[in-house]
Each structure stands twice: as structure tokens, then as C-alpha cells.
Amino acid sequence: MMPATQFDREYLMRFIMKPRLFAIALGVIAFTSAAQADVGQFPYKEKPFKLLIKNGLGQHGFSSINSLYRIHLNPFVLQKIEMDLAAAGLNETPSDSAIQRSVQYVAEKILEQHNIQIESITSWVSPAIYARMDQSAAEKIILMNEVSGIHEEEFNKNSAVFSQASGDIYDGNEIVSWAKLATNTNDTITTSNKYYLIDQSAYDQPNEINFETHNASSPSDRNYHVIHVAGLIGGMRNNSLVRGINPGQPIKLFGMAGTLPLEKLDEALRNADLNDDFAVGSLSINIPPDVTNTHAWNKSVGWALRAASNRLFMALSSGNFYGGVPATPDSPNACNHAYNYQGSSRTNDGIMVVGGLDRNGARWAGGDWELEPAYGNENYTFQIKGSTIGPCIEAWAPAHQITSTSSRGGTRVSSGTSYAAPIVAAIASRYGNSQTRPIERETYIRNSLQSTGYTEWGIPLKKIVYTSPAAHYIPKRLPIISATSPTNPTNVHTVYDGRFYDINNYWNAGAPWGEITVDLGSIKTVTSVRLTMRSHLTPDNGALRPVNFAVWGGSSANAVNTNLAYYNEPDHSDLGPVYIEFPSTSTRYVKIEGASHDSWLAFAEIEVYGY
């Protein structure tokens, strides 16, 4: 551990007392009271310092070229800032603020002391500041106690690409896509559960799509993708155009100006957390060949997806990079283009990568010509490659010639795994309500998969088919009535309050090891636990950061000594859930012991599942 340090008390005083130019720019309130800060011991920064410099420069070289850097903030230091601000009599972060106050404090401190250009801030999915600066400024900022690491962004905004594309029947004047028929959703069922869509920005179609929140834009050929996806999810049942999987489902759209989803994931999670909403979401963006896959579990977007899975069951497209266009090389493995955990899929992580099928249930092989009027060319077309394959894909859904709404009005036909992912998410949203956890919906989807009779790389292709929720016996989250810890009794109540992302709202052992026990109130049948961790570690590290756990049960608070599981989490992340399954056991108390190799042990939330 590093020696005890203190925050810059003088700066904290000025932060609270002076006019707030940066706060005004961000639309948040000014603070008007003073606070004292006294930081105890905090974990070291990662070694070596994660100051990732590119352009062939060494760590101690200097460059006048400004690059975009991701500045990761230490959640343990941020929690102490929150405590000191609260001790000064300040209220919590206002509900209309997009930035938690401790993150705002550090952002303004960096802005004032280093005079750098801050481009954006995330404080929910992961506390980080994005800023443009030269290497010399980065080497100064890495020394700040509030900073865990600094990483130069690995690809520019034009590197990621949408998984884009270029049997229906009629019911009156309304088209029912073959995708609804193939997934057993051509019924009268819909849902009021929210759908969180991370995609392009869009203009409103009030008679066809129920956009509950979105950032509107003008009608454009360039937002065909989001309108097609939204119509597939929730096109109205109104005897017009096309009927979605869940007609009229409320869609919360978080539209990107470019193709970097981090900021919009952060915005979506803030919205879900403040509304105490557990829902589904989809992201149909993939990383092209020969570019670092930032959607991998240990990269920036992958970390954000892991954090998102606390509240949202996330369905992700597998990518269109395999077959159908002989003139371009194939890149068949979805693990190179979509989310993966150490090169494969992972059960009960709240995240599913979805591959694309044709009408016969085989892999959609590509080769379709897509019409995309754009750039002043009314007849602009391109040929699209087929669905990727591999061990990262957990479910398959229709992707070939999907009819949906058009950004120009009317309907259009398009192909791509972009459409397979939202089909799975929409069906998942039919299960449960606004308090149904992501892994409950994931289990429902797994139980609803059916064999197509086809295989790729020796792996059976299993397609999603809607099944009645009443036919499933799925473990539910069990209420926790109290918690205790001999390691640190402070903030134990926060592990069962349903708040995942609040900087000040988690239990911290104050050491790399510790234990905490939760009380279910009465004896229940318990099957698993899900632990949302806090950590000062950052993505892009290149090394695994394991945590060892032991889970115990008991019917008496004085005898929680029946071992339920020993488990090693290979690589944990800040706000990344850890799922531990064990044989069904009758118990009232569940004790969790943990030992981290690289960070303090801390939990934002503990969930216990069973019956």
C-alpha cells in the first residue's frame, strides 16, 4: 500500500467556493460550501503506470501532438471525495446532472491545473475523462492521486462500422416479416418494458415507432440503420407499414454522432439507474478486421458492456465479415469483431452475441446487394458479407432480407446481423418486468433456443424462438434484509440497495481481502450469487487480474460454515459482475470471502438467486 496522502485541501476549498465555469458548461449546479479531505491509504496505480503512448514514442519522450486520451479515475479516491463533500453539507449529485460530483471535481481540477481540452466524461459506466493533450501533459496527470491510468485511444471514430446492410406475409395493409414467423412472435403479445437502443441518432416517426426518449435529427438516408432496427423492435400494429416483434414497445434511443458507443452506454446506464429500471438493450456495431477489438472483455467497450450488464441484458451483433463477397478477404471469427470473454462466450454474464440466419436456419452467407441512397447518389449500392461464426456466438436469429421501416418513409429490405441482435433482445424483454435482472432474461433466452440442424466450426446453431414465460422455472433474485461485515461494517447496506454505479454507494473492505454476510430473512433455496465489484484497475492492461472467492451458507448467523463454492474469477473489472453458481442449497445466511490480487476488495452490489 502507498503511504497516506491528502487531497489538495486548498484546491478543494476553491472548488467549492469559486464560480464554476466548467460546471456551468456542463449544466450542473455550483457548490457553495467548504470541505476538508483526508485520504487514507489507497492501492497503488497499476505497475507500470498505464500511460499508453503511441506514434513510436517512448514513455519518457515528448510530443507536441495532441491525442485523445482516456483518463481513468480511482473509485476509492472518488468515494473519499464524495464523503468529504457530504461532510461539508453538500447534497448528492442532482438528478438532472449527467456527471457524478466527484468525477466533476476531478475534471475541473484537471481543466484548471493543466489547461487541457476535455471532450467528454463518463461517470456511470466507468469513471473516466476523455481529453486531448500532448504527451507531456499526460505524464503530469498520471501522477495525480485521483488517476488510476491513462490510455491513448486505440482507434479513431471512423474505425468501427455498423453491422449494416443494404416469406413475408400481409395482415391487412401491414407487413409481417418472416422473422416474426420464424421466431414465433406473430401473436398479439407486446410489452411495456423499456428497450434501450444504442445506435445512430434518428428522427421521429410518431405513427410507427414509440420513441420514448431519443435525440432527434432530420430525416436522412444516413440514419436508415436505426430506423430499420427500431421498426423491427417495435413497429406499431396499426394496419400500416410493418409490424415489429413487440408492437409499440417504448424505445429509449441513445443515438451516437459517430461510432464510439462508450458515451451513450454511460448515458443509458445513468437513465436506467436513476429510474431504477432493469431492461434489455442492443448494440449493433462491430470492429472491422485488422483493428484492435475494443469490444473484448479487457478493452474499453468490453468493460463498459460488463458494467452495463448490471441493469441491461445486452444483445450484440456478431458482425458481417464472412463470405458472400469473394473480392474481399474473410474474417470468420466473431471473437475478433464482437464482445468476448477470453476468446469465448460466458454463461450468466448478461451479455449475448447473436449470429445471423437465413430462412432455412443456416448461417446467412452474405452476398446481398444493399441499396443505400447517399452522398448525392440515389442508386448507391454495396455488397455485404455474411454472418461471422465461432465460440463467442451464443444465439442465432434471422438476418437475411429483413423488412422494416425506412428512414425515407415506407419500408425497406435489408440484411445483416444488426437485425439478429435486436430480435433476441426484444424477445428477452417479453420476460419479466422492470425489476427482472439481466441474467434472469439471459436464462430465459437460453432455455428458448432451438436447434436449426446446422453447425459451423462444429458448433450447433441454436435459434431463438419465443416461448411462454410460464413454461420456465428460472431462479429469481432473492430479497436481502441486512448485511454484516467484520472486515468493515461501514456501508454494508449498500450491497443490497439496487444502486450499482453511484461513486459513494458501495462497500469497501479497505484491504485486498475481506468478508461480508447477507441475511435473506428466512431459509431459502439458493443457487448462485452475482457480485458487482469496484476496482481501481483499468482496461487495456494486458494482464489478468484474478480474485479468489469462497461462498458459505448457514441457517444461523453464528454458524455460516457450510461451503457452497470456491471460485476463481480470472480477470475482474470495475463494475463488472462476477457470477458464482453452486448446487441448490437451503440457507438463510450467505457469506462471501474474497481476496483480490491487484486491488482492494469492494462490492457495489450483491445479488443472491434461488427460489
583, pLDDT greater than 70 = yes
Q: Taken in order 136, 140, 143, 148, is the CA torsion positive or negative?
A: negative
Q: Three-class SS of residue 492?
A: helix
- Cis-peptide into 48, omega within 30 deg: yes
Residue 140 C-alpha cell reads as 503530469
Confidence band of 543 (pLDDT split at 50, 70, 90): confident
The angle subtended at Cα 42 by Cα 37 and Cα 45, nearest 5°, is: 120
Q: What is the pLDDT of residues 71-86, one digit of tens each?
A: 999 999 999 998 888 8
Q: Is the per-residue pLDDT at 371 higher than 80?
A: no
Residue 493, SS3?
helix
Range name among 21-30, 144-153, 317-326, 470-479 with the lowest pLDDT average: 21-30
Share of residues in the chain with pLDDT > 90 (%): 62
Q: What mean pLDDT is predicted for residues 340-363?
A: 97
**Backbone angles phi and psi of 176, in degrees to 5:** -110, 110
Q: Is the pLDDT confidence value at 409 over 90?
A: no
- The 10 Å CB-count burial string (b at 16+, else e) for 16-47 is beeebebbeebebeebeebbebebeebbebbe
Q: Where are the alpha helices (DSSP H) in 429-477?
A: 438-447
Section 289-307 average pLDDT: 94
pTM, two decimals, is: 0.86
Distance CA 512, CA 249 (A): 45
**CATH architecture of the region 476-610:** Sandwich (2.60)
What does the pLDDT read at residue 418? Answer: 97
Eight-class DSSP state of 440: H
Instruction: Report phi then psi at 442, rounded to 5.
Output: -60, -45
Where are any strands of DSSP class E within 204-333? 211-213, 251-256, 279-283, 285-286, 312-317
- The listed CATH number (3.40.50.740, 3.40.50.10420, 3.40.50.200, 1.10.10.350) that belongs to domain 161-471: 3.40.50.200
Segments of 387-512 assigned E as strands:
393-398, 402-405, 411-414, 449-456, 459-464, 476-478, 482-484, 507-508
C-alpha cell at 2: 502507498
Domain with CATH 2.60.120.260 in the chain: 476-610
Per-residue pLDDT tens for 304-346? 999 999 999 999 999 999 999 988 899 999 999 999 999 999 9
Ranges 37-46, 199-208, 369-378, 600-609, most confident: 600-609
Q: Give backbone dihedrals phi and psi of 374, rounded to 5 degrees, phi first.
A: -165, 165
Alpha helical stretches, state H, 124-177 = 135-141
Reading the block at residue 521, the C-alpha cell is 430473512
In DSSP terms, which residues pair with 261 in a beta bridge? none
- 103 vs 423: CA distance, rounded Å: 36
Of 436 and 380, the structure prediction assigns the larger pLDDT to 436
Environment class of residue 458 by beta-carbon count within 10 Å: exposed (0-12), middle (13-18) or buried (19+)?
A: exposed
Phi, psi of 494 (to 5 degrees): -75, -15
pLDDT at 65: 63
Q: How many CA atoms lie within 13 A of 424 on its CB side?
A: 43
Query: Can you say how many angstroms the Cα of residue 297 is from the centroid of all Cα atoms in its chain?
Result: 11
**What pLDDT, on a 0 to 100 scale, did the predictor assign at position 100?**
85
Confidence of residue 379 (pLDDT cuts 50, 70, 90): low
What pairs with residue 515 in β-bridges? Answer: 593
Q: Where in the chain is the domain with CATH 3.40.50.200?
A: 161-471
Overall average pLDDT of the 218-223 stretch: 59
Cβ 605 vs Cβ 529: under 8 Å = no
Q: If pLDDT is split at 50, 70 and 90, which confidence band does 91 have?
A: low
Rounded CA-CA distance 314/557 in Å is 37
Q: Is pLDDT at 182 greater than 80 in this prediction?
A: yes
Give the pLDDT confidence score for residue 29 in this predicted structure: 30
Q: At what angle do helices 417-428 and 224-234 cross, to 10 degrees?
A: 30
- The pLDDT-based confidence of 122 (bands split at 50, 70, 90) is confident
Mean pLDDT of 1-25: 40
Highest mean pLDDT pick, 17-21, 154-158, 262-266: 262-266
For residue 39, pLDDT over 70 is answered with no
The Cα–Cα gap between 177 and 243 comes to: 7
What pLDDT score does 34 carry? 29
Cα 356 to Cα 366: distance, rounded to the nearest angstrom = 10
pLDDT-derived band of residue 553, with 50, 70 and 90 as boundaries? very high
